[in-house]
Structure 1
């Protein structure tokens, strides 16, 4: 995704993607807590689930303490490095595969299909960590930490219980990737073109493209995010699509966009942070790698 497109070994994109993911997570995680509370069925009344984002943030800090905003952080911290590594490196690898096997040149279609493929792959890793995080973010949760959650799931449902919400997670990850990677190149083409030497302007373009891409991806996938959160909290539910129709019929379409504001506030700018950090890391590695050569 950098202007300099000289190829690099895959491990560079793994390190760059992981670093980008952890950076974004540490900056934006409190908004993820608010988003989850808005989405969970029954409403986080103690957190002011029906109020605005900043009202909920303030209420959590006042009633539960600021550390509550980071409850469940340990699980995604362990997840973020491999998850983002898969997201970026697998998307790059699928681009190469589809480009060579199907003779597809650079295009939105290539970006979308590659992103979807990477999303399906990363879901197998993401699901157990998301399950633990959701259980801990529930305001009614009595769990003390990730170990407590995992022990409870294994006792009640066995190892298969750790895959609760897998199908919904596949939809969520794939749709986000399709919107994000599928839009970035087009958005960049609409921005003022800059040379590789104009690093400040390149960073700005990347941040704008990543932010818009993150907003598009988050808006497209939020119904699946809502369904995933509910399935993982309750441990029950049918297919993601059937649950979406069920929620729409019983609670209205608006419910499928619960938590949209904090999600956009996180993953809009968060998408910008991801792209900027990833591109900067890859640029640094490219300089190091080719200087060595």
Structure 2
């Protein structure tokens, strides 16, 4: 009992540092979210309307600079909170799994399993943020829902499945798989790069970049589906019917479904490269000072 009571505060400090470092790294990387938001909004229009880049840019120009950053608040808030909880929850779950008898799961797979659990909780907590963001970014909602308050009131008046938690299932699958892949690949990839002579900062940054590419490419269609389901306040239907409509609208061509994907991957590479590098450096300094 005595040794257990001494270990518990130490574990609590480690977990607190994971939440703190995750939040700090994500807060700093939100600067890239702010700078690249016009790029993200261009991609969103491509996801929603399957337009070319020049057509999406023309739409944004016609709407004017005042509406360019409409919808930026939810991703900024979500990004800051997301890093805090994602890294903190994954580390908390990893510590709990490491303390238990998990002989059925290889030890090297525990980070991926913990990432899966963190991704599930992330989807539960942040789907409402993404829902509000997508409604805000859809210019067709500007007339009927001109303010954030009006959107929140409309969504709150609807059942969760058609309100704040529209498209929850694809969000859950995307976030759970993405987090599992990120944390499962992160350390092995980083160690391999360091063995090849990369500096710690460079290896962390490249790991974040490569991870984002590996995750974004196969999961991008889910993001397109989520954007189309969540952009409309009313209607939309279930996942299967929404997917059928989306696939038909893209003329059953994969290349049209991936329209705008290169911009998403570029933005994701920048954000996750910076986030991973900052998080790893903060974690390293915390361990050395402890």
Whether TM-score is above 0.5 comes out as yes
TM-score range, shorter chain: 0.7 to 0.9
In 2: Cα distance, 1:284 partner to 1:24 partner: 19
TM value normalised by structure 1:
0.80
Total equivalences in the alignment: 268
In 2: Cα distance, 1:114 partner to 1:56 partner: 42
In 2: Cα distance, 1:201 partner to 1:67 partner: 43
CA pair 131-181 structure 1, distance change in 2 beyond 3 A: same
Partner residue of 1:211?
209
CA pair 15-242 structure 1, distance change in 2 beyond 3 A: farther
2:199 is paired with a residue whose SS is helix
How far the C-alpha of 1:252 sits from its partner, in A, is 1.6
Partner residue of 1:110?
110
Contact 1:226–1:258 at 8 Å: present in 2 too? no
Contact 1:210–1:274 at 8 Å: present in 2 too? yes
CA pair 131-99 structure 1, distance change in 2 beyond 3 A: same
Partner residue of 2:71?
72
Partner residue of 1:15?
20
Establish whether residue 50 from structure 1 lines up as the match of residue 68 from structure 2. no
In 1: Cα distance, 2:194 partner to 2:25 partner: 25
How far the C-alpha of 1:244 sits from its partner, in A, is 4.0
In 1: Cα distance, 2:223 partner to 2:57 partner: 24
TM value normalised by structure 2:
0.80
How far the C-alpha of 1:72 sits from its partner, in A, is 0.9
Partner residue of 1:229?
227
Stretches of structure 2 that go unaligned for 5 or more consecutive residues are 1-9
Alignment of 1:152-167 (within 5 A): 152-155=154-157, 157-158=158-159, 161-167=163-169
Cα deviation, 1:79-116, whole Å, max 9, x if unaligned, reads 22222212111111222233333145552x32322222
The more displaced of 158-167 and 132-141 is 158-167
In 2: Cα distance, 1:203 partner to 1:213 partner: 15
CA pair 75-116 structure 1, distance change in 2 beyond 3 A: same
Partner residue of 1:127?
127
1:26 equivalent among 8, 31, 41: 31
Contact 1:164–1:232 at 8 Å: present in 2 too? yes
2:185 equivalent among 166, 180, 183: 183
How far the C-alpha of 1:233 sits from its partner, in A, is 1.9
Stretches of structure 1 that go unaligned for 5 or more consecutive residues are 1-5, 44-48
How far the C-alpha of 1:61 sits from its partner, in A, is 5.9
How far the C-alpha of 1:266 sits from its partner, in A, is 1.0
Partner residue of 1:136?
136
The more displaced of 179-188 and 243-252 is 243-252
